[in-house]
Amino acid sequence: MTLDAKEQRRILGKFATGVTVASTKVGDETWGMTANAVTSLSLDPPLVILCIQKEGQSRSKFEEGGCFALNILSEDQQEISDRFAFKGPKDFSDLETTTAVTGAPILNNALGWVDCKLKEILPGGDHDIFIGEIVAGEAGDNGLPLLYFGGRYARLPG
């Protein structure tokens, strides 16, 4: 049985996720991309996965940057998720950010974040799998997560 892309999306859309903005830094330029194909991979060594579609500019930016941060968004940050989900340059200039070890932008009000050095890129069909080694991270106590479920944003009951 082969599944078409729409049906795969519909089925896997039942798997609720959080939403992150993955960020990187290439020279003086910062770059961000909304991503929910992320997961914690290993505790020892501390590794995470970020899957990036091959088409589009983000893939090469994250490879060139050699690092990435995952910013876990709160339910108040849907507007930030939307603006980093469009094609083309994505600007952090009017957002309050900081950096940790790698220089990838970290959003001040994120629920949590990890800063990673890019360790490996593995092939994954029309996406590539970016494995990052965590070099810094923090979790805040500031609220509830933004969720993605069934192709839409969702929220936990307050």
Neighbour count for residue 79 (Cβ, 10 Å)? 9
Q: With contact defined as beta carbons under 8 Å apart, do 102 and 117 qualify?
A: yes
Specify the 3-state DSSP secondary structure of 49.
strand
Please state the closest distance from residue 111 (CB atom) to ligand FMN, in A.
15
Give the residue with the Cβ less far from ligand FMN, 1 or 27: 27
Neighbour count for residue 6 (Cβ, 10 Å)? 8
40 scored as a contact of ligand FMN (CB under 6 A):
no
Specify the 3-state DSSP secondary structure of 84.
coil
146 scored as a contact of ligand FMN (CB under 6 A):
no
Among residues 88, 123, 157, 158, which is the contact residue for ligand FMN, using CB under 6 A?
Answer: 88
The interface region with ligand FMN, picked from 50-58, 66-74, 98-106, 117-125 by CB under 6 A, is 50-58
Please state the closest distance from residue 29 (CB atom) to ligand FMN, in A.
13
42 scored as a contact of ligand FMN (CB under 6 A):
no
CB contact set of 147 (below 8 Å; sequence gap of 6+): 16, 17, 18, 19, 75, 153, 154, 155, 156
How many residues bind ligand FMN (CB under 6 A)? The answer is 17
- The token pair at 67 is 């690092």
Give the residue with the Cβ less far from ligand FMN, 94 or 141: 94
Please state the closest distance from residue 1 (CB atom) to ligand FMN, in A.
25
Q: With contact defined as beta carbons under 8 Å apart, do 67 and 104 qualify?
A: yes
Place of tokens 């994505």: 90
Please state the closest distance from residue 158 (CB atom) to ligand FMN, in A.
21
77 scored as a contact of ligand FMN (CB under 6 A):
no
Residue type, 50: L
* Contacting positions for ligand FMN (CB under 6 A): 19, 33-37, 51-53, 56-58, 84-85, 87-88, 148
